Chain A
Amino acid sequence: MKHYAVKRLLQLIPILFAITFLSYGMMRLAGSDVVEQKMENTDGTVSQEMIDAAREELGLDKPFIVQYVTWLGKLARGDMGVSYVSGKPVFSTFVSKLPATLLLAVVSILLTVIVSIPLGIWSAVNQNRAADYVIRTASFVGNSLPNFFVSLLLMYFFAIRLNWFPVISRDVSLQSVALPSITLAIAMSAKYLRQVRATVLDELSKDYVLGAKARGVKFQTTMMKSVMKASLVTIITLLTLSIGSLLGGTAIVESIFMWDGVGKMAVDAINMRDYPIIQAYVMWMAIIYVLVNLITDVSYRYLDPRIRLGGTEQ
């Protein structure tokens, strides 16, 4: 197990090299740079000499490969640089956004689990009955609504009409996180409850369920001890992938609720061609996905000892 985990973590190094190099290159291909973007945003009427000086100061006048190697060299010394836009250190800027992102991810996942697993099971157990149809219809509606639209609906009803929650997040608190996390949970629950339903139905159709029934084992016991356990592998796969995605931020929801997380920061950085921030974000995403996949693989092993980890263990 340890050997497997170390191997997976070592794989992170070439991944980080490749992904940061690619993102650096792709941002250059996108055209424009931060100096130009700032000029546009401010109706800038500065001289060409000042523009050139600004580019030189940021090192943007140098060839792409020189810029990348310089950035990499600084990173190796633990210096992630400063944001081209705000002038603030990248590391502290990034870290300041993490609590908001983590809270939003955790609350959204919890809400999703609370809603989608019971409803998915209920729907499967009551297949083709009224409850099943209602749940499937709700799931269809939830899947069809884009996040921004759900956000606006929730704002209208819960902030403007009922005055229960704020429109704009004031701080990283449960009250402020309510509407953004419900928005995300609606979309994820709508998707997951159908997948939970399908997985449970698949298990219910297996012979061991029929055998248990024939032996007089209570249905609830079969459900909890066998069906649920067997379904968990699929459910955990789905949830961990969602955790990865949520930890990368949810730019639209964050922008609408003014939730100060990494997703909004990344989109703003891309718009402004703020390379140091973009690179930090890309690295964060790569690390998240490698770790999340590792945790998922390890959890498989605990749930089902028959599963082999990367062919290293029996």
Chain B
Amino acid sequence: MKKILAVLLMLCIAAGILSGCGGGTNTPAASGKKKVFVFGDTTFNAENEEPDINPHNAYSGWPCIRYGVGETLMKIADDGTLKPWLAKSATNVNETTWEIVIKDAVRFSNGKKCDAAAVKACLEHLIKVHERAAGNLKIASMKADGKKLTIVTSEPNPILMNYLSEGYGCIIDMETGIPKNGCVVGTGPFVATEVVTDNHVKLVKNANYWDGNVKIDEVTVRTISNGDTLAMALQSGEINAAYGMAYASYPLFENDKFKFSSIQTSRCFWGMMNFHKENPGYRIMSDPAVRKAIAMGINKKGFVDVLLKGYGYTAAGAFPESFAFGRGVNTVSYDPGQAKKILQDAGWVDTDGDGIREKDGVKLAIRWLTYPSRQELPLLAESAQATLKDIGIEVQINNTKNHNSIRKDPKAWDIWVSANVNAGLGDPQNFFDTYCLDSSIKNSGGHHSDNLEKLAVQLRGTFDPGERAKIAVKMQQELLDDNSYVFCSFLRMSMIMQANVTGLTAHTCDFYELTADLDIK
């Protein structure tokens, strides 16, 4: 009996040590008079090329701008237009020359003035070390004169200011340079004090903030890659808000204790058809009737309403309607009856009674290539598999992490379905340049249209945003008319927070998360 008691005593001591040293969970807003905010984020990690918050390193500009450390010359509004931020104005003097005037009040967080010379030094360093930025910006030379910065590009670049609104365009103090710990000095409402890759960023209030009073004293952004952990951390009150919550967890927070900030983004779930002649499925995919039937046979609304539980928007074209270049495109609607008739008229008939149509001995089966890292994509594949089967098309799903290797093999797939931010910088050009043209690096299906190529040239030389929108609509219509691309839905991005959090707002471009407006009531 004594030994049993001894064992129980040991267990009690162990439990006591473990629990006693704690003191319960973190109550972020209750650390004395300081307002402390803890933000859980699934995306801040080296895998996403965000090892720190130095905007001149890979994609680290994203956390820099999201967490309020850095700011850009212009800001992307939710309708895709550009608004002045650090810049008072940005004027296109001629096709290759831009004049940018910096606001008088702008200061770095170390108190130094941010003038044109500081911006020039920052951009010079950026294009020296950041290959992607240098390729996008095409800056040939710069001249600083007080508050006025003149940029000359090596070729017409109508979307220079859009590119400068990307995360890498955050203006940082190059006199301080890039510290080893990655804690760069920006102009934003928060100052980074500690960055631990794949773990956390610690921020404090910028006492010298040039654009208003910052309400939160300290912020910790925690990388929480597991969806269940993120949900539990928000429920337990360890974090005040979460970014990247799985849809399945949303119902846990649909009550008075929490609130959502949601917005339609330009992240689109869409498919590209394979037109390569060496593809074994060429006879199927080159048939316009089949492509049209596929477009008509995917139940976009059902996918969004049922599988995404309403957390999405159906798509007609490549861009959401909140952008000027996303309005006015026409495409076919979900109509299985009409889709069946189109296939029937084209000679695709189910002769062996297995529910799948055939023509000239070829079975109407398509290989659907997609990947699992976006939770919506496998769901879309299953949804399409079910609805296309109803019209007599068999869908063979290949859901693999290696899709990027496979899509380069023209014989290995018939439709490649992916999720991409199609207008992250508020402009349509990048989408066409990347996926739809002869020169596109991701035009893996080998799509070609003479008219589209001509329109792309026109788009690259057009500076007026209204005219660019019109051209972009025509280009989308080209893709939709021959059903070579099918756009299914757009992501509804949400941040979930405790009910007492204010000023945390989701934006179409997915930037500007932590701002001076952030507060805990």
A-to-B contact residues, CB < 8 Å = 31-32, 36-43, 45-48, 50, 53, 83, 85-88, 110-111, 114-115, 118, 122, 152, 155-156, 159-160, 163-168, 170, 173-175, 177-178, 220, 255-258, 260, 268, 271-272
Contacts and interface: CB of A to CB of B under 8 A. Distances in A.
Contact of A164 (B19, B222, B226, B228): B19
Given A38-B49, A50-B132, A85-B47, A168 B229 contact: yes
B402 A31 contact: yes
Contacts of A37: 47
A39 B420 CA distance: 12
A121 to B, nearest CB: 9
Contacts of A45: 430, 433-434, 441-442
B18 A272 contact: no
Contacts of A173: 21
Tell which of B40, B225, B226 has the most Cβ of chain A within 10 Å. B226
Contacts of B226: 255-256, 258
Interface residues of B, number: 58
A155 B232 contact: yes
B26 A46 contact: no
B197 interface: yes
Contact of A115 (B11, B47, B198, B224): B11
24 contacts: A42-B59, A45-B430, A45-B433, A45-B442, A46-B441, A48-B441, A85-B46, A88-B51, A110-B14, A114-B11, A114-B14, A160-B232, A164-B19, A164-B22, A164-B24, A168-B40, A168-B222, A173-B21, A174-B21, A175-B18, A256-B229, A258-B224, A268-B45, A272-B47
Contact of A86 (B198, B235, B433): B198
Given A31-B405, A256-B228, 15 more contacts: A32-B405, A41-B49, A87-B51, A88-B197, A163-B24, A164-B24, A166-B26, A168-B229, A168-B239, A174-B17, A175-B23, A178-B22, A256-B229, A258-B199, A272-B47
A40 B232 contact: no
Interface of B: 3-4, 7, 10-11, 14, 17-19, 21-26, 40, 45-49, 51, 57-59, 131-132, 135, 197-199, 222-226, 228-229, 232-233, 235-236, 238-239, 371, 373, 401-405, 420-421, 430, 433-434, 441-442
Contacts, number: 146
B232 A156 contact: yes
Nearest to A155: B232
B22 A268 contact: no
A296 B131 CA distance: 54
If over half of A's interface residues share one DSSP class (helix, strand or loop), that class is named, otherwise mixed; here it is helix
B51 A178 contact: no
A86 B197 contact: yes
Contacts of B46: 83, 85-86, 272
Contacts of A178: 18-19, 22
Given A47-B441, A50-B135, A258 B229 contact: yes
Nearest to B57: A87
Nearest to A110: B14
A188 to B, nearest CB: 15
A51 B403 CA distance: 16
Instruction: Enumerate the 7 nearest inter-chain pairs by beta-carbon distance, A residue then B residue, closest first.
Output: A175-B22, A86-B46, A178-B18, A118-B7, A45-B434, A86-B51, A85-B46
Nearest to A185: B14
Nearest to A113: B10
A94 B479 CA distance: 49
A32 B402 contact: yes
Nearest to A181: B18
Tell which of A45, A53, A118, A167 has the most Cβ of chain B within 10 Å. A167
B362 to A, nearest CB: 30
